[in-house]
Amino acid sequence: MDSKEIALLKSKWQLLLQNLNNRFDSELDLQGVLFLIGVQELGKGYRQFSKSEKGDLMHIATCKLLSQYGYYVLNGIDVDGWPHWELMQPLPPLTLREQDLLLKQAAIEYFEAEIFG
């Protein structure tokens, strides 16, 4: 990504956060957005989740987001209704900053297509 693309991504990310923060009366960051996506993808509504379940929800969100780029595919739903994903191709080596940008871009695309679209 060049500097113009990064600036546009940051602008779109801030708009998304503003929208979500207003909607949920909260101060979300990337981890909070991943949690929301995980809850949405689980499809059972919000409830109290254990620490382990919160980690699982963030994993579900990450897989869902990266499935937009062909890295994961939904493998099925278990008996408890939790989705399971299969890695289709390994991610290229990315720095933490690059991982952060990739997830933010994917989250923006997710909300544009799945929620706000």
pTM for this structure? Answer: 0.92
Q: Is residue 115 predicted with pLDDT exceeding 80?
A: no
Could you tell me the CA-to-CA distances from 31 to 49, 55, 65 in Å, in that order? 15, 10, 13
Residue 116 has pLDDT above 80, yes or no: no
- Every domain of the chain and the residues it spans: 30-110
pLDDT value at residue 1: 82
- pLDDT tens across 72-85, in order? 999 999 999 999 99
Which ranges constitute the DSSP H helices of the chain? Answer: 3-24, 30-42, 51-67, 96-110
pLDDT tier for residue 68 given thresholds of 50, 70 and 90: very high
